[in-house]
Amino acid sequence: MTATTEFTPQPPSEPMSATSTAAGTTAAAVPDQHGGELPVLHPAVNLWFTAHARDLPWRRPEAGPWGVMVSEFMLQQTPVARVLPVYEQWLARWPRPADLAAEPSGEAVRAWGRLGYPRRALRLHGAATAITERHGGDVPSEHAQLLSLPGIGEYTAAAVASFAYGQRHAVLDTNVRRVIARAVTGVEYPPNATTAAERRLARALLPEDTETAARWAASSMELGALVCTAKNPACGRCPISAQCAWLRAGKPPHEGPARRTQTYAGTDRQVRGRLLAVLREAVTPVPQRELDAVWHEPVQRARALDGLVSDGLVEPLAGGVYRLPQS
């Protein structure tokens, strides 16, 4: 962490604190560590959350830490609507980490269905195994222990610790990053990769009180998902529109190069997806020729299959036959 870039709340020409004379800025602001001031966002957002939070199964008390953890894996880069049915089936089949760990990883890959990024299924199975072996079958509550599990990075560790155990962590997902970028920094979008400045800012915005902080983690994420959306933000329904630096600045469009749009058609990813789809549906091992039918170009096809094997998503058997991993 040798970043030298200091966070600048906004250009000097853009007043943002409650002490300024800007009309409409009535909420409190607190000094930050750089001589500027930060808006206090959590009261309004937490109140908004009380009225507008979606009733999602992993938010119910009965979900428990395992339910929260499963949902976080599934929600990585995947919309809520598509996760819901798979989540319900998953928890019904594997209500505890040990239940999943007792089955071959291939069953996790199969149950993952078409959620995408099937390596997540493999990692979730690996995490369940580690939890069973190292943590007595209980999802660990400490951030560092969560972080050491496969498939759990900075975001997911903070999310599980906060949502499942009520701890105080800066939970920086794409929604929260966007909310902060707009409301505080005054720009339309956050940087491509999470920066040290963003982490600092997220920590500075975290309420002192633990319960309030945990609620803020969920409420700020929900605000980004429902109101402060990437494309057409509903600023008219935003509880902190009066404090939003981006709105105050006239919603200036994103500067700099557009995010490189990821192509999909014709890529290895598409080929991998087709190959795995065949294997997911198959009850018995699949002969090579059935896999060959999903893609015309032999070099790319072979490369994709090799990749799946080396990733542990596919198990090659003798005689050119393949199946989901039985280990």
Partner DNA sequence: TATCCGTGGAG
Partner DNA sequence: TCTCCAAGGAT
Residues making contact with DNA (CB under 7 A): 56, 58-59, 71-72, 75-82, 114-119, 123, 150-157, 159, 173-175, 192-193, 221-222, 224-225, 229-232, 258-262, 264, 267-270, 272-274, 276-277, 307, 313
CB of 151 to DNA, least distance (A): 5
Q: What minimum distance in Å lies between the beta carbon of 58 and DNA?
A: 6
Give CA–CA dist 241/227, Å, rounded. Answer: 11
Q: Which of 6, 37, 62, 72 is catalytic?
A: 72
Determine the Cα angle at 269 with ends 264 and 275, to 5°: 125
- Residue whose CB is less far from DNA, 41 or 83: 83
Specify the residue, 155 or 216, whose C-beta has the smaller distance to DNA: 155
CB of 326 to DNA, least distance (A): 19
Strands (E), the chain: 29-31, 37-39, 286-287, 315-317, 321-323
Nearer to DNA, 265 or 283 (CB): 265
Q: In angstroms, rounded to a whole number, what is the distance separating the alpha carbons of residues 245 and 321?
A: 59
d(CA 271, CA 294): 8
Work out how close the CB of 106 gets to DNA at its nearest, in angstroms, rounded to a whole number: 14
Is 72 among the catalytic positions?
Answer: yes
Please give the single-letter amino acid code of residue 39. Answer: P
Half-sphere exposure at residue 83, Cβ-oriented, CA atoms within 13 angstroms: 21
If the CB atoms of residues 78 and 145 are measured against DNA, the closer one turns out to be 78
Residues recognised as catalytic: 72
